[in-house]
Structures are given as structure tokens and as C-alpha cells.
Structure 1
Amino acid sequence: METKEKRFGRAWEACWTQMDLLDIPTVRMRELASRMGPCAAAHRILTGRRCSDGFDQLARMGKWELSLEALALKPQWGELFSDEEANEALHRLMEAGCRFL
């Protein structure tokens, strides 16, 4: 049976595929996820000072749903992230102008 962490990794990869189609760079996130594993990479990004790669471009395009920040807030991934990480993801989205997902 596939773990929740593996399913999260596949969901994040699907976002990258869509970002590639929009010509939004995903190289650093992919490298980090490859090196650390998707969940550890997501934790690092959500506890860091910077938004995920391509976040600003996604925000300008109204494609919030493709960001790590939006992905981390989906109910099915809730147990993978701390309250602090979820709050940071929500804060970043709200600061960028997202009013709903």
C-alpha cells in the first residue's frame, strides 16, 4: 500500500508538470525533493523565509492551486504538516491576494 507521503509526492509532481506547461521553473523544488524526499523538502520550504519556486508567477496568473502552499492546505495532507507550516502556507497565500482555494 502506498504511503500518504508517497501520495503527497505524486501530487506535488503533478503540480510541477502543470507548472512546466506554464513555463514556470520548478528545478530547485525538484532537486530539493529528490535530495531530501518530498515531505522533508516541503517542510523546509514552508518553514523557510521564501515562498516556493514560481509562487509569484502562479499568484499573478491566479493559479494558486499549483503552489506548494495551496497543496499543503488540502485536507488529505493535513497530518503531514504542522499547524505552524499550515499557518505559514495560508499567510503566504493571503498576502499574495488569494482569497479562496
Structure 2
Amino acid sequence: MEKNALTKLGIALVIIAVLLAGAYKLYTDSLANDFNDISTVEIERVAETYTGEYHRPDCPKAKRILKPVIFNEGKTAAENNKQAKAEGYVPCKRCHPEDVK
């Protein structure tokens, strides 16, 4: 009976591991797809004083900012990135606004 219980436990653990691996794969794919449609023409940057981060306008984190600081004076995204960094903001680790295409 103990061997039967251990077999069932082993099978359950394998099923859980497979489900977790599948969920992780779906999550990472969804993160990659979040930013595939961002236009290369987009130059504006949105910052949040609370976290000290600046984002691309389409970043899910940027959409939740209550009082955004907008950087749109520059003619390119790189200029707006420089302006945000000069004011002490750091790039978002999700949307990577410093990666100008």
C-alpha cells in the first residue's frame, strides 16, 4: 500500500511540474508579445515619481500611473530617454525604453 501511495504522489508531482512549466512558457510568451506592436516612431516617455522609473507609453505599468511626468520635448526616443535619465529616472525593466530600435 505504501508503494501505491508513493507512485500516486510521484505521478501528481510530475503533473504539477508539467503544468507549471507550461504556465511559465505562456507567461514569458505573453511578456514578449506585450511589446511587439510598439511603433518605432513612438518617442514619448512616461515617468512616475513614486517608483522613479520611466516607461514607453504602451507599457502596462505606464497605464496605471496617476500623475505621469511626460517627456516629449525631444525629436527622438533617445533624446527623451536622456532627458528622463538627467532628471533621475531609471528605465523600466519590463518595457525597456532605452532599447531604441
Assess same fold via TM > 0.5: no
TM-score (ref. length: structure 2): 0.33
TM-score (ref. length: structure 1): 0.33
When Rg is computed on C-alpha atoms for both structures, the one with the higher figure is: 2
**Which one has the bigger helix percentage?**
1
**Which one has the bigger strand percentage?**
2
